Amino acid sequence: MKYFYSIAKERTAEIKIKRSRFIVSMYSVTTMAEAKYYISKISDNYKTANHNCWAYIIGEKGETFHSSDAGEPSGTAGKPMLNSLKKHEMTNIAVVVTRYFGGVKLGIRGLINAYGESVDTAIKLAPLKKIVKLEFYRLKAEYDFAEQLKYQLEQLNADIVNIDYAAEVTIKISIKHHKKRKLEKYLVNLENANRIMILK
C-alpha cells in the first residue's frame, strides 16, 4: 500500500538567502476551505511582507492541489513549494512562505531554489506523520462471548476503541483499511451464527 504523509501540528521555519527572509508556515488541513482559511490567516499576519506565496495538497491520495506565486515571477514560488510537498509524498497540508525582500535580486533559478529549500527546511524539522485510512465497526455481543471476541479481534489486527457494558456488550473497533478483508469475513460469519450483531 502506498502511504502519504502530513504533520501532527503547525510548523514554522525561517531561512535567510542574500538578505531576504523566507518564513515558512505549515499546517495540517483536510479540506480546501481549511487550506484557504489558513493561507488567508498567515497572509494577514504578515501583511507588510513583499510576498505570501502558498501551496496546498488535500485528498486521500493527494489528488487536489493548487499553488500561487503571489506576485513573484511565474513558476518561481508556488510550483517549487508544491514540488517539495509532492517529493515528500505529503497530503492534507497547506504551506505559506512569506518573503521579506532584502534588496538583492535572486533571479529565476535563485527564487525557485529558495522557495523549494524553505519548504524542505520545515518538512525536515521533525518526522512526518503517516496517514492511514481506518475503518470503524460497532459490534454487540453477549457477555459470555465478549472476552473471546475481544481476543479474536486483536488477533485480526483490530484495535478496541471503546467498550460499553450494558444489557449486552457493545464494542467499537477500528482497523487499517488495507487489513479489513479478513476481519469482515470473520464478523459476517459470527453474525450469521448469531454470535454478534454488526451495528450501523
Residue-wise pLDDT tens for the chain (200 aa)? 577 999 999 999 999 999 999 999 999 999 999 999 999 999 999 999 999 999 999 998 889 999 999 999 999 999 999 999 999 999 999 999 999 999 899 999 999 999 999 999 999 999 999 888 888 999 999 999 999 999 999 999 899 999 999 999 999 999 988 788 999 999 999 999 999 999 96
What separation in angstroms does the CA of 56 have from each of 29, 63, 132, 200? 9, 11, 19, 34
> Please, are residues 150 and 171 in contact by the beta-carbon 8 Å criterion?
yes
3-state secondary structure 90-104: ECCEEEEEEEECCCC
As given in the structure block, the three cell numbers for residue 81 are: 513549494
What 3-state class would DSSP assign to 85?
helix
pTM of the model: 0.73
Residue 14 has which C-alpha cell?
Answer: 525561517
Distance CA 6, CA 27 (A): 9
Residues 88-121 have pLDDT tens digits of 999 999 999 999 999 899 999 999 999 999 999 9
Q: All domains of the chain, ordered by start, with CATH?
A: 4-130 (3.30.230.30), 133-199 (3.30.70.240)
Tens digit of each residue's pLDDT (9 = 90 or more) over 145-169: 999 999 999 999 899 999 999 999 9
User: Of 99, 103, 93, nearest to 123 (Cα)?
Assistant: 93
Q: What contacts 147, CB < 8 A, 6 or more positions away?
A: none
Q: Determine the pLDDT at residue 1.
A: 53
Question: Is the four-CA dihedral 83, 112, 73, 13 of positive or negative sign?
Answer: positive
Angle between helices 180-192 and 143-155 (to 10 degrees): 160
Cβ atoms of 4 and 132 closer than 8 Å: no
pLDDT of residue 177: 80
